[in-house]
Each structure stands twice: as structure tokens, then as C-alpha cells.
């Protein structure tokens, strides 16, 4: 299992394969992150709480 670079939560290898850029060791943000979200190829602060 890999870890989210933002919150440190464990994410599956499948999640990493789909959402992590090739040059990074893990995803920049995951579904457990409450303060940031993916926005296309970028990561931004969440506008509302989830």
C-alpha cells in the first residue's frame, strides 16, 4: 500500500495507478483528504467540507 502525500492515509495500488502522476511516489490527494481536492491535473483547496 502507498500513502497519500497530503494526509498520509493508505491508498490502494489501483488508486495510485489511476491518480498518481508517473514521476511521483504516491498520490498528491486522496478521498480521505478533507482540505484539498483534485481539479484536473492540479490540486486545490476544497471550497466546501465533505
Tell me the per-residue pLDDT of 5-45, one tens digit each, with 9 for 90 and over: 888 889 888 888 888 867 666 787 887 787 777 677 776 77
Q: Helix and strand tally (H, E) in the chain?
A: 1, 4
Q: How many residues are listed for the chain in this entry?
A: 50
Any idea where the domains of the chain sit in the sequence? 2-45
How is residue 43 written as a grid cell? 490540486
8 A C-beta contact, residue 37 and residue 30: no
Task: pLDDT band for 50, please (50, 70, 90 cuts).
Answer: low
Q: What are phi and psi of 5, to 5 degrees?
A: -70, -20
Instruction: Tell whether the model's pLDDT for residue 3 goes beyond 70.
Output: yes
Amino acid at each position: 500500500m502507498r500513502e497519500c502525500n497530503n494526509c498520509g492515509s493508505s491508498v490502494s495500488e489501483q488508486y495510485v495507478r489511476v491518480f498518481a502522476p508517473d514521476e511521483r511516489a504516491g498520490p498528491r490527494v486522496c478521498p480521505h483528504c478533507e482540505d484539498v481536492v483534485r481539479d484536473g491535473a492540479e490540486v486545490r483547496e476544497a471550497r466546501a467540507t465533505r
